[in-house]
């Protein structure tokens, strides 16, 4: 009997570890999406740039502008800097200098693991410094623009960058832990949610970060930088509730939450409702950062 009990415990522990390792791989690793566009297929002329962050080379593009403003773009999970091109469209009349870069472990940037903004915010900070230096701008002349994973990363940069012009966060998650828990249940069923705590622990140990640090909801508390949250109420990947939670975390801050509807996919509004998206962005910048256009 005792032998059977010991064997059962060993099997359960092995199953718990094996399942958690599998889901940890799903969470912090992903097949890279290679860059696909040739230089002559891009809507603007780019210069290759890179920074070294935590020993990793983070690669991107610098686009020289004509106006005294700058924009730093951050893409979604599993994508690369080419995805950010769609988010340059609402700003195409601004004439800003721009940087679009690949997150660590994505595109052409170095790295093995995703940390959902906990470490990526440092990569973003170095790319922001590069943009300021190359374009000869001050932080108050620069806005951050992010989609999903990139939106969450931009929001997590705020505590250390309270002198920015604004942040546009499209379809952000409130915290890594909560969006991972939600996706685990949606994709694999309620039964796997018991693996989330051990999956988070393994992810922390493997990637060298604290899961609780990846929390835009916490990062925005006490923020003074104008923030525009955009989210579709029918988003099946990251529920609209996440942007509501982010907005509620700083009720007195300079923040607008704009709901969209009509898209049954994640962060598609900039593509499917471009005219409205562009008008909202323009009005927000005029209201909250009137000197941004120069």
In the DSSP assignment, the letter for residue 209 is: S
Range of the domain at 80: 44-188+213-288
**34, exposed or middle or buried, with CB in 10 Å at 0-12, 13-18, 19+?**
exposed
Higher pLDDT pick, 156 / 8: 156
Residue 30 lies in a domain: no
User: Who's near 171: CB < 8 A, 6+ residues apart?
Assistant: 147, 148, 151, 230, 231, 232, 235, 237, 238, 243, 266, 267
Decide: residue 71, CB within 10 A, 0-12 exposed, 13-18 middle, 19+ buried. Answer: buried
Mean pLDDT value of segment 123-141: 98
Q: pTM for the complete prediction?
A: 0.94
Tell me: pLDDT of 5 over 50: no
- Among 165, 167, 164, which residue's Cα sits nearest to residue 87? 167
Q: 257: domain CATH number?
A: 3.40.50.1820
Cα 123 from Cα 256, distance rounded (Å)? 26
d(CA 130, CA 236): 35
Q: Is residue 258 part of a domain?
A: yes
**For 85-102, how does the pLDDT look when each residue is reduced to its tens digit (9 = 90+)?**
999 999 999 999 999 999
pLDDT at 262: 87
pLDDT at 294 over 70: no
**Is residue 20 one of the residues assigned to a domain?**
no
pLDDT, one tens digit per residue, over 146-200 is 999 999 999 999 999 999 999 999 999 999 999 999 998 888 888 778 898 999 9
Which pLDDT belongs to residue 1? Answer: 53
Share of the chain above pLDDT 90, in %: 85
| Secondary structure percentages of the chain, helix, strand, coil, to 5 | 45, 15, 35
Is 28 domain-assigned? no
Contact 154, 147 (CB under 8 A): no
The pLDDT tens digits of the residues spanning 10-50 come to 444 444 557 788 989 999 999 999 999 999 999 999 999 99
Instruction: Identify whether 294 is part of a domain.
Output: no
- 29 in a structural domain: no
Burial of 10 (0-12, 13-18, 19+ CB in 10 A): exposed
Classify 228 as helix, strand or coil.
strand
Tally of structural domains, the chain: 1
For the chain, what is the mean pLDDT? 93
User: Looking at the domain assignment, is residue 124 inside a domain?
Assistant: yes
Give the residue among 42, 98, 40 at the shortest CA–CA distance from 74.
Answer: 98
Residue 204 in domain: no
DSSP letter at 7 equals H
């Amino acid at each position: 009997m005792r032998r059977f009990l010991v064997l059962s415990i060993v099997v359960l522990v092995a199953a718990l570890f094996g399942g958690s390792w599998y889901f940890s791989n799903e969470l912090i690793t992903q097949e890279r999406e290679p860059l696909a566009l040739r230089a002559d297929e891009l809507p603007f002329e780019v210069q290759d740039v890179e920074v070294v962050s935590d020993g990793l080379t983070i690669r991107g593009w610098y686009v020289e502008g004509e106006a005294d403003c700058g924009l730093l773009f951050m893409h979604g999970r599993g994508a690369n800097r080419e995805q950010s091109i769609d988010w340059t469209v609402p700003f195409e009349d601004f004439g800003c200098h721009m940087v679009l870069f690949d997150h660590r472990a994505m595109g052409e940037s170095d790295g093995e693991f995703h940390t959902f903004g906990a470490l990526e915010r440092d990569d973003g900070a170095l790319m922001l410094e590069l943009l300021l230096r190359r374009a000869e701008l001050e932080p108050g002349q620069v806005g951050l623009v992010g989609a999903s994973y990139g939106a969450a990363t931009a929001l997590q940069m705020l505590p250390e960058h309270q002198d920015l012009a604004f942040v546009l966060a499209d379809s952000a998650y409130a915290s890594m832990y909560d969006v991972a828990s939600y996706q685990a249940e949606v994709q694999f069923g309620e039964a796997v949610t018991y693996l989330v705590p051990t999956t988070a622990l393994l992810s922390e140990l493997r990637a060298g970060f604290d899961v609780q640090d990846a929390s835009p909801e916490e990062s925005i508390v006490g923020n003074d930088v104008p923030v525009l949250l955009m989210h579709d109420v029918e988003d099946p990947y990251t529920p609209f509730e996440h942007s509501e939670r982010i907005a509620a975390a700083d009720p007195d801050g300079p923040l607008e939450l704009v709901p969209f509807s009509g898209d049954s996919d994640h962060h598609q509004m900039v593509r499917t409702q471009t005219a409205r998206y562009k008008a909202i962005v323009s009005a927000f910048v005029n209201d909250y950062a009137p000197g941004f256009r120069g």
